[in-house]
Each structure stands twice: as C-alpha cells, then as structure tokens.
Amino acid sequence: MEQLLEAVERLYPDMVGWRRYLHQHPELSYCEKETAIFVARKLREWGLEVQTGVGGHGVVARLKGNGSGPTVALRADMDALPIQDEKLTEYASKAKGIMHACGHDAHTSTLLGVAKAMSEHRSLLKGDVVFLFQHAEELSPGGANSMIEAGALDGVDYVYGIHLWTPLPVGTAYSRSGAMMAAADEFEITVTGKGGHGGLPHETVDSIVTASQLVVNLQTIVSRNVSPTEPCVVSVGSFHSGTSFNVIAETAALTGTVRTFDPELRMEVKKRVEEVVEHTCHMAGADYKVDYKLGYPPVINHDAEVERFFRAGSKVVPCEPLALVMAGEDFSYYLHHRKGCFMFVGAGNKEKGIIYPHHHPRFDIDETSMLHAARLFVSMVMDCQKG
C-alpha cells in the first residue's frame, strides 16, 4: 500500500490542477457533457476500460487487478450548481451563474488521482477496481439510479464514496454505522382562493393569509407529531404570491423539504403534510394542490464497512464518528445494492478563510483534503482486497 500512497502524494499537484480546471468550467446536473469527456480522456490515457454515456453522462472505468479478489467500486459526482461564483480567486468559475459550490470538482479530481495511481501499480491489486464518475447528484431523481440500471455495479462486491465537507476540519475523516444522511423529500403547495380588492377583504378568500397559516401549521408536524428523540425537519423554502400592494392575490405557492431517517416516519410525515394542507385550506374556504415528491432515501451504511473505515482508514487519516447529517445524497442507492459505506473528509480551514458552507457563493475547499480523501480510498480498497 505504501507505493500507492506515495503515488497519490506525487499526483497531488495534478489533482489540484484538474480540480481548478473543472472549477472554472462547471456544468449543471444532466449537462455534464464536457466534464465527462475530460474524465474519459484521462482514464483512457492511463489504460483503463472506459464506458461513457452510462445512464446519462456517467462514466464507468474498470481497472483489472493482478489476481483474484473482490471488485471494489469508488464513486465521485461531477455536477455543479446554479449559483454565481463570488470567490476572488484565479480559478473562479467562468460560467455565469454556475459554480462548483459543493466540492464535486474535487471529488472528480480526487478519484482521477486514485485511478492514475492504481493504473501505475495495478500489479498490487488482487481484484478489479471500478471508478464511477456520476452525473446529476444535485438534482432529483439523480444519476445514481440510472447508472445502476445501466449496469454500473455489475460484478461489483463493495462500493465506497467520499464527500469533502467544509464544516469539518481538514486532516480528519468521519463516518457512522447505519443511517448517516437523511431522506430528502420535496413538496409544492398551491393555494387558490378568491382574489379581490385589498380594501374589501370580506369579499375575497385570501390565499396569502391561508398560505401563511400553512407555513406555521406545517411546523407543528415536527413539534407535535414526531417524537422529540426522532430526527425530522420540515422546512418551507419559498413563498410566492401577489403583484400589488392593494390586491388580494388569488393564488399563493409554497415549496419546501422534509428530512427524515426512519422509513415509517417518512411516510407518516408525508401523510401529515397532506392533511395539514387539506384542513387549513378547508377552514379558509380555499382550494389547494399538493405535489409531494419522494426524493433520495437515507444513506444507510453497512456496519462491517464502517468498521473497515475505522480500522483501515485510521492508518492514513484520523477517523472519528459522525453525527447525523440532515443533507441528502443519492449514494444511498448504491448501498441498497452492494455492501459499502459513505465517508466524509474534512475540507474546512479557518486559518485559510475556508469557512463558507456548501452551496454558498463563496464556497471553497482546502485542497489538501483531496490528498486525504485519495489516501482513504486507497486504504479502503487495499484492506478490502487483502482477503
């Protein structure tokens, strides 16, 4: 393993260069055409078997090892977000209104570094390694399912993924057994009342007042219908209605998200959202429409693979238990099909001013986190294949 670790350290400057290039040329979910071309070209140069267009813009590469052993898949996501980059750096995004505000450029570059290092030392591998470069993690229904349906996990025994995470300090790694990241569901609610003159409210059915009551009433689901010991979030993220100060609007639209870990609670909250909307609107005499979309299921790690993370990962980076994370991830789908685990690697650094959260216009990472992530991937693969 030491040869592989030395190789990824030598390739660290390349990883930084790839990351900065991708950061300047981000592509939104389902639009990662040029990113996929960039990734596939590199992988072919290094002698890997490469498939493109896997489930969309996904890229799958296989490196055949020198012997008989388990096949391990490693995953990185490639898509960016519709956010204007406000960083004052030489590698800031050149695409107006689009930036890598979640670290996927670094995930891709890290995995490229691991692929190159392993291609140079494939004789050390006892089994095959599959590299999954996934499109569309940020936007449901996501790219994981379509890649799996296209055969990305065929012949794979174990699957691992890493997310660089700025709320955690660089030089550390984290995971946990069982549920780790939440199910991420969405809702859109349209309230339809009766519009009219702002000075004659008694002749109207006020959609804004009704929708405002909905915002408050929806919060009681968590506070009064969910056990205080059970993690759950119901958040209204947008409220749109009206065009004039003296007109009572006919319609109001709300959007929001629900985050849970327990499958039964997930469906109970869905039911309660629909009931709260129905009864609140009925009380006001308004009509309504609810569009409730079940998004990514929770990320649930396999216990034995988390044990491997603490055993093998600790050899290359300090590993600590992670608290539950209410963000969602479609890596969950891979874990439905194969044994594995998802891991966080710290990417924040207050001394360097890298303090902004994910999805922020000034988001950045401490790039040395890519080296820690690459070392962690190597350690997990080698421990898995040693028998």
163 has binding-site annotation? yes
Q: Is 137 a catalytic residue?
A: yes
Return the CATH number at 287. Answer: 3.30.70.360
Of 248, 270, 295, which residue is a domain's last? Answer: 295
Look at strands 129-134 and 58-63 and give their pairing: antiparallel
Q: Which of 348, 344, 304, 340 is nearest to 325 (CA)?
A: 344
- Whether residues 250 and 135 fall in one domain: no
Give tens-digit pLDDT for 34-44.
Answer: 999 999 999 99
232 has binding-site annotation? no
- Whether residues 202 and 303 fall in one domain: no
As a whole number, mean pLDDT of residues 294-307 equals: 98
Give tens-digit pLDDT for 126-164.
Answer: 999 999 999 999 999 999 999 999 999 999 999 999 999
In this predicted structure, which of 66-70, 158-162, 286-290 has the lowest mean pLDDT?
66-70
Return the CATH number at 140. Answer: 3.40.630.10
Asked if the model's pLDDT at residue 218 lies above 80, the reply is: yes
Question: Number of H helices and number of E strands within the chain?
Answer: 10, 16
Give the residues across from 233 on adjacent strands. 259
- Whether residues 242 and 269 fall in one domain: yes
- Whether residues 241 and 337 fall in one domain: no
Asked if the model's pLDDT at residue 333 lies above 70, the reply is: yes
Contact yes or no for 296/184 (Cβ under 8 A): yes
- Whether residues 157 and 57 fall in one domain: yes
- Whether residues 89 and 172 fall in one domain: yes
List 79, 105, 250, 329, catalytic entry:
79
359 has binding-site annotation? yes
Asked if the model's pLDDT at residue 386 lies above 90, the reply is: no
Main-chain dihedrals φ then ψ at residue 197, nearest 5 degrees: -75, 135
- Whether residues 230 and 113 fall in one domain: no
- The CA distances from residue 1 to 247, 342, 345, in Å, are 70, 21, 20
- Domain extent for 193: 183-295
Asked if the model's pLDDT at residue 67 lies above 90, the reply is: no
- The span from the CA of 332 to the CA of 336, in Å, is 7
138 has binding-site annotation? yes
- Whether residues 325 and 289 fall in one domain: no
- Whether residues 159 and 243 fall in one domain: no
- The span from the CA of 27 to the CA of 33, in Å, is 8
Asked if the model's pLDDT at residue 387 lies above 70, the reply is: no
- Whether residues 44 and 147 fall in one domain: yes
List 27, 32, 105, 137, catalytic entry:
137
- The pLDDT of residue 187: 98
Of 236, 267, 295, which residue is a domain's last? Answer: 295
pTM: 0.94
- The pLDDT of residue 83: 98
- The pLDDT of residue 84: 98
- The span from the CA of 10 to the CA of 108, in Å, is 17
Domain count, the chain: 2
Of 295, 322, 347, which residue is a domain's last? Answer: 295
Longest dimension (CA), the chain: 81
For tokens 């979640």, name the residue.
102
As a whole number, mean pLDDT of residues 251-269 equals: 97
Mean pLDDT over each residue of the chain, to the nearest integer: 97
